[in-house]
Amino acid sequence: MDITTDFPIDLPDETIKTALIDKINNLTKPKGSLGRLEELALQIGLIQQTLTPALRHPQNIIFAADHGIVDEGVSLSPKEVTWQQISNFVHEGAGVNFLCRQHGFDLKIVDAGVDYDLPRDKGIINLKVRRGTRNYLYDPAMTKEEAILCLERGAEIVSHCQTEGSNILSFGEMGIGNTSASSLWMSLLTDIPLEQCVGAGSGLDSEGIRHKLEVLDKAMHNYTGDGSPADIIRWFGGLEMVMAIGAMLQAARLKMIILVDGFIMTSCLLAASRLHPEVMPYAIFGHCGDEAGHRLLLNAMHARPLLDLGLRLGEGTGAICAYPIVDSAVRMLNEMDTFAHASITKYF
């Protein structure tokens, strides 16, 4: 696999677009009166190439890994919180667990590179590439070969979800230090100044944010790669983040709906789009998070999130919260009557 070329993604065929718009406009409502639901219905109809789309077997995939940069004190939380929180997922005590139960999502937990020997009899999927990334203050976080392996394994898990009947997926992450990697990707891939991309992460105070910015600024100045998106991705990325990129690209290749979560997963979609811009029509942005830089990143990507709830948990929680709105858009298209069938005169 090549990091830039091995995900052939087709843009949705727009031949059906006129028929979709006509159906939406002839439902028993004033034209445009259901706002974003109408936009979502059109997007989903184009993805699935049908006037009667359906959402099947939603799943949330959490990719987990550790980051070498944590050694520099860029996070309030210590590294062991990564594996401890995975244990919490397994015991169904985390935020993502109650949301999956509420909205009917299956949850998959993937060890992409946790620096800990996780129990293999607890349902955790072992796709570990290495035990955490290298410290990118001094060295690339991963080799090209490791990055390619992450992409392949992310794609593999999505293919498995498709065989289980899924056509809509959300992605989450667990990895202390991954807001640092996301900030660097954001700055280097959008040219937004780094200081506007760096935030509190899991709860840094102003002094902690200042230190984090200094470390990341030094890491950026120490960078000696070729400046290509693929090189930036592997130099500063997390194993769980690159695996999420592979998952997103494979989901688009398989014409699945991608529900995008918060700052970290938005950064992953940004990176995926720099490799394959064709991924974007398959993405629905769940929410605008509370991490500094997320709103700027969404604006840079011309993305309109469905919710703004002040969330910054990650794990896929914001994407799952947005799922009922996506479901409403599909139900609108399938369950509302038309003016002609209901014998109602168009009133607009």
Q: What is the pLDDT of residues 41-81, one digit of tens each?
A: 999 999 999 999 999 999 999 999 999 999 999 998 999 99
Active site residue 315: yes
Are residues 289 and 318 in contact, defined by beta-carbon separation less than 8 angstroms?
yes
Kind of pairing between the strands at 168-174 and 125-126:
unpaired
339 falls within a domain: no
Tell me the three state secondary structure of residue 338.
strand
Nearest-10 Cα torsion for 295, 101, 98, 243 = -50
23 falls within a domain: no
CATH number, domain containing residue 209 = 3.40.50.10210
68 falls within a domain: yes
105 falls within a domain: yes
d(CA 332, CA 328): 6
* Domain of 115, in residue numbers: 59-326
pLDDT of res. 160 = 98
Tokens of 198: 């760096």
Instruction: Please give the order of strands across the beta sheet that includes 283-285.
Output: 125-126, 106-113, 59-65, 168-174, 257-260, 283-285
96 falls within a domain: yes
Tokens of 12: 């949705």
Alpha-carbon distances, residue 129 vs 88, 240, 275, 320 (angstroms): 22, 9, 21, 27
Q: What is the pLDDT of residues 89-148, one digit of tens each?
A: 999 999 999 999 999 999 999 999 999 999 888 899 999 999 999 999 999 999 999 999
Task: Look up the pTM and report it.
Answer: 0.96
pLDDT band at 5 (very low <50, low <70, confident <90, very high): low
188 falls within a domain: yes
Residue among 72, 146, 173, 315 flagged as catalytic: 315
Residue 84, classified by CB atoms within 10 Å of its CB into exposed (0-12), middle (13-18) or buried (19+), is: middle
Tokens of 79: 């590294």
168 falls within a domain: yes
d(CA 181, CA 177): 7
| 211-219: average pLDDT | 97
346 falls within a domain: no
* Average of per-residue pLDDT values in the chain: 95
Domain count, the chain: 1
pLDDT of res. 19 = 98
Alpha-carbon distances, residue 180 vs 201, 217, 263 (angstroms): 8, 11, 11
pLDDT of res. 108 = 98
